[in-house]
Amino acid sequence: MSTPVLDLRGVAYAYPDGHQALYGVDLHVHRGERLALLGPNGAGKTTLILHLNGILIPGAGSVAVSGLPVVRENLQEIRRRVGIVFQDPDDQLFSATVWDDVAFGPRNLDLSKAEVSARVEAALDRVGMLDFAHRPPHHLSFGQRRRVAVATVLAMEPEILVLDEPSSNLDPASRRELAEIIAGLDVTVLMVTHDLPYALELCPRAMILSGGTIVADGPTRNLLADSELMAQHRLELPWGFTVQEPPQAL
């Protein structure tokens, strides 16, 4: 088995006020996997993803990205490898134009002007926003700003794309367009979401984080079809949406 691109072993974390958010989490994701991280509010999902590129450092346990430990001296390289798209795109967009926002990361890699331009153009084209390159981000719709936020991460050419509630606050057309973009990306994906149909559509594997621990890990369809497991951890499918477990092989 190859080295996991994400390898968390016994990760525990308590905030300065004493609140224990994670208790000994083990998480192993291999190259090319698409994993949905599910769980109720307050389960520790956001705390967990903030460990993946060193925004938080565990109080116990370890985090590694393709074998490279997530420690302070490695943070520049870790943050190139792991791109996080936050729930609110306005947390990532702050420049005068879309182009400048997407170029910000590559410029900090000391790339040539030509390479920065190539990366920006490719990333914006990937998310269908190249025609908006010279528009101010605040003139865009929410869905368009989210796509630009994805482009700011793709321009860094990460190994792993982490998406925090990517479908939240999107209208149906924007939700579908973003799903098509995510499905077409050739990167490892970790998606935190309460949108269970989105998880089923985009991620063959899912984990449930509840009370700061991983309580389930398996095929997304199997987890969502387990009504007892879902109820126990306050997860609900939309009204009228049903999931059938695949038949067992004979």
Apex 72 CA angle, 23 and 89, nearest 5: 75
Of 47, 112, 55, 61, nearest in space to 78 by CA: 55
DSSP assignment letter at 194: S
Q: The whole model's pTM is what?
A: 0.92
pLDDT tens-place values along the chain, 250 residues long: 578 999 999 999 999 999 999 999 999 999 999 999 999 998 999 999 999 999 999 999 999 999 999 999 999 999 999 999 999 999 999 999 999 999 999 998 889 999 999 999 999 999 999 999 999 999 999 999 999 999 999 999 999 999 999 999 999 999 999 999 999 999 999 999 999 999 999 999 999 999 999 999 999 999 999 999 999 999 998 887 888 766 555 4
Please give the Cα distance from 217 to 69 (Å, whole number). Answer: 24
Please give the Cα distance from 8 to 97 (Å, whole number). Answer: 37
State how far the alpha carbon of 232 is from the alpha carbons of 205, 220, 236, in Å: 19, 16, 10
Cα dihedral sign for 52, 79, 158, 148?
A: positive
If DSSP codes are grouped into helix, strand and coil, which group holds residue 241? coil
Q: What is the pLDDT of residue 7?
A: 96
Q: What is the pLDDT of residue 1?
A: 57
Of 146, 119, 149, 124, nearest in space to 134 by CA: 124
Dihedral, 123, 128, 131, 133 alpha carbons, nearest 10: -40
Contact 49, 164 (CB under 8 A): yes
Q: What is the pLDDT of residue 248?
A: 58
Please give the Cα distance from 95 to 163 (Å, whole number). Answer: 21
